[in-house]
Structure formats: C-alpha cells, structure tokens
C-alpha cells in the first residue's frame, strides 16, 4: 500500500508541474486563466450584413492565412530601431519606389505593435505606439485605427477590432514592381533588418507585377496630404476631363520631383573615387621646375631650369607653327640667303613637341589663358612673358618685380593675372598692359604661391612667413589672414563654390579654411613629404593633393561637416592637442584613397570638366643596384 500511495503521489506531483508550466506559458501569451467558456463568448449567430462585411475585409486585407513555425524576436529596442530605419529609408527613397513601398509602412506598424503585445511587453508596446503613430494621423483612412490601436493590450482585445484582427489573421496583399522588390530587399539585407524580414514573410504577400498592369485606382500615400478616393458617382464627362491635361501635368510634376530627389540623393551621398590620369615627364635632365595643362587638356607645358619651355600635344594632332613675317631671333643679310632658301625656311613646321626660349633663368610657373591662345610664364629673371600658341613665339614681356617670380595665376575671365615674388609682394596685372595695376604688400618673407577666387574679386597668397592672406582685387587691401601652418606654403586652391580655401606646403598638412568665418574647418594629415599641389573637384566635395612623396591622395571634404543656421560646424578633425601635432604619421579619416605613382613626384593635380583627375609629375630615376 505504501508503494502504491507513493507512486500515486509522484504522478500527481508530476501532473501538477506540467499543469503549472502550461499555465505559466499561457499566461505569458496573454490567454485567460478560466478553464470554462461562457455562452456569451461563443458567437453562435451571425447577421448576414456582418458576414458580408467580414468577407469583404478579409478579401481586401489578405489572401492566405498567416502562420509561422518560428517566433519573432521580442527585443523592443531592436523593433523600434528597425522600424525607425524603415521610415527613414522610405522618406529618402526615390520615386516611384517611394509611392509603391508606402503601402507597407502602416501594416508593418500594426504587426510590430502586436508582436510586442504578444510577447507581454505592454510598456514597450505603448512607447512604440506613442513614438510612431503620429505619422498616420494625417490620413482619415488610418487615423481611427492608429489612435485605437493602443487600447489593445492583450490578445483577447483583438476581437473588439475586426479590421486589426483580419489583418493579423491574413496576409496583407501588396503589388510591387520587380525593381522595387530588389530595391527593398537590398535595404533589408544590407542593414540586417531581421525582424522586418520575419514580419514581411509571415504577414505580407508581395505580388511582383509590371507597372503597366498596375490597377489605375491604387491609392498613393503621401506624407503631405491624406490619400483621396475616386468618387463612385462621378460622371463619364468628368472622368474624360480628368484623363487629359491634369493627368499629364501630374505626371510631369512627379517626374520633376523624382529628378530633384535623384539629384539631391546623388549630391548628399558619399563621394566616389575619381578616375585618375597621370602624365610623367621622363629624362628631364634640364630639371623640370613647373608644369601646366590647357583648359581643354589638349596641351601640356613644362618649364625647365635651363630657361626653356617645352610644349607637348596630348592628342594625335601635331603642333603647327604658322608662318611669320619677321623672325626676331635671326638677322638676315641679303647676300647670305637666296630667295628660294628663305621661302623653304619659313614653311609651316609641325611636330608633337615645341621648344620656346626667351627667359634668362629657370621657369618657375606656367599658366594657359582661358579661351585664348596665350601661355604665360614666370621666371627667375624677374619677368613674366606671354607666348603665342599660334606661332610659339614670345609676344609680350611684363616687367615690375625686382626679384624672381615664383608663381602666377590667371583670373576666371582671363583678363587679369596675379604674380608672387621673392620681393615679399604679389602683383595684379592685365594682359593688355605691361605694368602692374595693384601691388599687394604685407608679407614678411617670400610670397610663394598665388590663387584667384572663382568670382575674380579676391586673390589669396601663401608665403614663407607661414601665413595665408586674402586680398581684394578692387582696392588691393587685405581682408583675411589665416594662421596655423608650420612651414612655407606652396599650394593654394579655392573650392568652385567659393566657400573654402585649401592650403598646403612644407609642413605636410592640408588646411581647409572657411572664408566666411576665417577659421580652419579641417586639417588633413597623411602626407609624408612636401605638398606641391591641391585641387577641388567640380562639386567642392573631394580634394586631391600631391607632392614629393610619389603618392596621390584623395580626401572627402564633407566628412564630419554639419550646417546650423548657415554656419559651418566640424567635428574633432582639426585637433587642438599639441601632442597630436607631433604625430605626422597619423592619417585623418577624411582620406578616401591613396594612389602610389611608383617614382613620379606630383607637381600638379587638376580636375577637368568631367571630374577626371589629371596629375603631372617628374619621373625620378631609381638607382640600379
């Protein structure tokens, strides 16, 4: 008897444990504790109108019953984060993807809320509802459901809301184009939206259709205004009228808006690395001291230490020198040259390389005049010379400096040009006068580089006194002074939008200055030797730089920049810690890419109109082992 009673107690305790475990599971799932059903809970009779309404709702909201063998994650934080990403993704999506995917947003909101309720997270569900339900209050179709959804706190409450219940029990049917499906799935996969993907598989039925097969009565949900329904009592005349000009006008507006969104999306997206074309000048036994590219990138000019200038054609077309009436480099005597020999000597000559001589010292700077056949050169002999690209001869000599001229730059209109000299001054000239119009005095040491602002009203100068100064062309007065470099400044570049100025040189740092505030906006570190050239791309978003280290570097200028009320704010890119200034090997995160040139020191970087990056340098012969 004892053994039987003991075994009976063991069975009873085991059954009580099973019953307790099952009851705990049901309570977590928000099921009722009552083991009996009331007659009032049983829906024995149903009115015909109610049956019709339920069938209509079922057909309109779903196709097949929704069931799953796995549970959706109950992490409330992950649910909120992923739905927030979905909202941001749809708000930034391009048309027509935005209109197609807008159907998913509201059903996804309901299912995620119900998943939190199912997992017993009432507080998290209420917070999720209060944070996101305001998005649907502008729509009369969704407003009532969005407001009353928060009153569902248990699964039993679903019986009070037939629309939500049918949406929960059946799959939501939505039609999407094939491109839109790929666009949406790429977002889900790339951002690891596992919860959204589970809800999408369980409660949504996506039908891939062609845009031409889409029902014309489908409603497009817009953020600015609630969706409108077509009137069922509209006359055929009204329908014909609406299908003419208003429809075409709407399509044109939608196309224009889609184009604006695409342009904004491209301009705000991270920049891509440009294509790079590198020209290397080899066998420069005379010493290459300066280079320049023509505006149409068909001519390359190089200045050498032996005072000569070489001109190369970058196209298959040869360089032709037109016949001149008088050759100033020769003195002809009538009894030394026969008429036939004189005519043969003055025939048009053509070749891929032209050599021009006239300076009395090394040529330190070259610049092609825009929309003109003129090349300007600056030399150690204190002069600036203008060369004709028609006959490749010297046509004008500009005198004014008392010491060597280190740099020159031409204004955007091609009428003014500026020079920088060892005499501590910069000067502004016009091409039709041989004397300077303005003398920009203020630097304490050599003025090593000069650059015109894109609007032509300002000139920037960089000096060996470690300062950058901005001058007004109209009156020759200084309007800005930028401090911060720790060595001579050899390169300057204005952004095409006119907001920023980049400077670099001997200290291997590139500083980007905000012209409106006069403060440094960024400091780019990564170069290991002197920087000789910097250049912005046409969008003012990417900066290219090169120098003696045989590496061409590309920088993302916009990284870490935010705009508040028209003022520019930056992160901690330009460090103020004096200890960090001693770490020259550190590379700032703005670096997009570095292109080694093997044995070419980059002397010039320049973007063309198609944002192709052109670089020119001198090939350095490596000693053979």
Task: Tell me what the mean pLDDT of segment 35-62 comes to.
Answer: 58
Q: Which of 58-72, 169-183, 461-475 has the lowest mean pLDDT?
A: 58-72
pLDDT in tens, 487-531: 999 999 999 999 999 999 999 999 999 998 899 999 999 999 999
pLDDT for 257? 78
pLDDT for 576? 36
The region, left, alpha or beta by phi > 0 then psi within -120 to 50, assigned to residue 20 is alpha
pLDDT of residue 324 exceeding 90: no
Round to whole Å and give the CA distance between 57 and 53: 6
pLDDT of residue 550 exceeding 70: yes
364 vs 99, residue with greater confidence: 364
Share of the chain above pLDDT 90, in %: 36
Q: Residue 320 — pLDDT band, cuts 50, 70, 90?
A: confident
Q: Are 58 and 168 in contact (CB under 8 A)?
A: no
Q: Residue 573 — pLDDT band, cuts 50, 70, 90?
A: very low
* Burial of 370: CB neighbours in 10 Å, binned 0-12, 13-18, 19+: middle
Q: What b-and-e string marks burial along 28-40, b requiring 16 or more CB atoms within 10 Å of the CB?
A: eebeeeeeeeeee
Contacts of 410 (CB under 8 A, 6+ apart): 367, 368, 369, 370, 376, 416, 417, 452
pLDDT of residue 544 exceeding 70: yes
Task: Tell me what the mean pLDDT of segment 321-335 comes to.
Answer: 63
* Burial of 545: CB neighbours in 10 Å, binned 0-12, 13-18, 19+: buried
Cis peptide bond N-terminal to 96, omega within 30: yes
419 vs 53, residue with greater confidence: 419
Q: Which of 45-49, 152-156, 177-181, 442-446 has the lowest mean pLDDT?
A: 45-49
pLDDT of residue 157 exceeding 50: yes
Round to whole Å and give the CA distance between 472 and 455: 11
Rounded to the nearest 10 degrees, the angle between the axes of helix 162-169 and helix 97-118 is 100
What is the rounded average pLDDT for all residues in the chain? 78
pLDDT of residue 385 exceeding 90: yes
Q: Which of 54-58, 207-211, 280-284, 359-363 has the lowest mean pLDDT?
A: 54-58
Task: Tell me what the mean pLDDT of segment 43-61 comes to.
Answer: 62
pLDDT for 32? 57
Q: Residue 542 — pLDDT band, cuts 50, 70, 90?
A: very high
Enter the tokens of residue 55: 């069938």
pLDDT for 302? 94
pTM for the model stands at: 0.59
Sheet holding 353-357, edge to edge: 288-293, 299-304, 308-313, 353-357
- CB neighbours of residue 204 within 10 Å: 19
Round to whole Å and give the CA distance between 608 and 433: 30
436 vs 225, residue with greater confidence: 436
Q: Which of 158-162, 338-342, 449-453 has the lowest mean pLDDT?
A: 338-342
314 vs 227, residue with greater confidence: 314
pLDDT for 10? 57
């Amino acid at each position: 008897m004892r053994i039987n009673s003991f075994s009976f107690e063991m069975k009873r305790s085991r059954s009580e444990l099973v019953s307790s475990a099952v009851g705990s599971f049901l309570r977590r799932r928000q099921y009722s504790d009552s083991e009996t059903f009331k007659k009032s809970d049983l829906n024995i009779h149903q009115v015909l109108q109610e049956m019709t309404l339920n069938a209509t709702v079922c057909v309109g909201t779903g196709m097949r019953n929704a069931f799953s063998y796995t549970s959706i994650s109950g992490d409330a934080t992950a649910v909120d984060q992923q739905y927030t990403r979905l909202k941001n993704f749809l708000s930034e999506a391009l048309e027509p993807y935005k209109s197609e995917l807008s159907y998913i947003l509201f059903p996804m909101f309901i299912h995620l809320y119900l998943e939190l309720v199912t997992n017993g997270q009432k507080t998290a569900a209420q917070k999720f509802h209060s944070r996101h339900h305001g998005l649907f209050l502008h729509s009369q179709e969704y407003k009532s459901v969005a407001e009353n959804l928060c009153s569902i706190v248990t699964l039993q409450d679903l019986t009070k809301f037939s629309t939500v219940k049918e949406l929960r029990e059946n799959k939501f049917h939505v039609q999407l184009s094939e491109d839109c499906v790929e666009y949406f799935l790429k977002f889900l996969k790339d951002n690891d939206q596992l919860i959204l993907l589970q809800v999408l598989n369980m409660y949504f039925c996506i039908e891939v259709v062609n845009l031409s097969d889409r029902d014309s009565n489908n409603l497009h949900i817009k953020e600015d205004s609630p969706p409108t329904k077509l009137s069922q009592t509209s006359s055929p005349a009204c329908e014909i009228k609406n299908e003419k000009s208003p429809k075409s006008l709407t399509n044109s507006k939608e196309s224009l808006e889609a184009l604006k969104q695409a342009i904004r999306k491209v301009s705000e997206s991270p920049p891509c690395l440009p294509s790079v074309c590198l020209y290397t000048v080899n066998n420069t036994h005379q010493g290459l001291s300066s280079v320049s590219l023509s505006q149409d990138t068909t001519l390359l000019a190089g200045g050498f230490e032996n005072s000569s200038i070489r001109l190369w054609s970058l196209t298959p077309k040869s360089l032709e020198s037109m016949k001149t009436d008088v050759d100033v480099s020769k003195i002809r005597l009538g009894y030394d040259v026969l008429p036939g020999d004189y005519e043969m000597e003055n025939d048009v000559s053509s070749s891929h390389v032209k050599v021009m001589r006239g300076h009395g010292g090394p040529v330190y700077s070259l610049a092609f005049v825009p929309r003109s056949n003129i090349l300007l050169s600056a030399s150690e002999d204190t002069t600036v010379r203008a060369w004709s690209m028609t006959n490749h001869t010297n046509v004008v000599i500009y005198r004014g400096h008392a010491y060597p001229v280190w740099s020159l730059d031409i204004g955007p209109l091609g009428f003014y040009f500026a020079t920088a000299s060892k005499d501590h001054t910069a000067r502004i000239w016009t091409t039709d006068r041989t004397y300077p119009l303005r003398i920009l005095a203020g630097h304490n040491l050599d003025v090593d580089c000069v650059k015109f602002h894109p609007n032509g009203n300002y000139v920037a100068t960089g000096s060996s006194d470690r300062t950058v100064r901005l001058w007004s062309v109209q009156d020759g007065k200084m309007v800005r002074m930028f401090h911060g470099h720790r060595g001579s400044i050899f390169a300057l570049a204005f952004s095409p939008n006119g907001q920023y100025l980049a400077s670099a040189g001997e200290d291997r740092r590139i500083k980007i200055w905000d012209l409106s505030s006069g403060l440094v906006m960024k400091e780019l570190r990564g170069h290991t030797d002197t920087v000789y050239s910097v250049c912005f791309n046409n969008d003012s978003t990417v900066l290219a730089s090169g120098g003696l280290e045989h590496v061409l570097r590309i920088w993302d200028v916009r990284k870490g920049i935010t705009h508040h009320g028209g003022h520019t704010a930056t992160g901690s890119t330009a460090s103020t810690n004096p200890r960090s200034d001693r770490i020259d090997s550190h590379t700032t995160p703005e670096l997009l890419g570095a292109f080694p040139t093997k044995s070419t020191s980059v002397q010039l970087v320049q973007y063309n109109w198609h944002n192709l990056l052109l670089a020119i340098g001198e090939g350095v012969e490596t000693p053979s082992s």
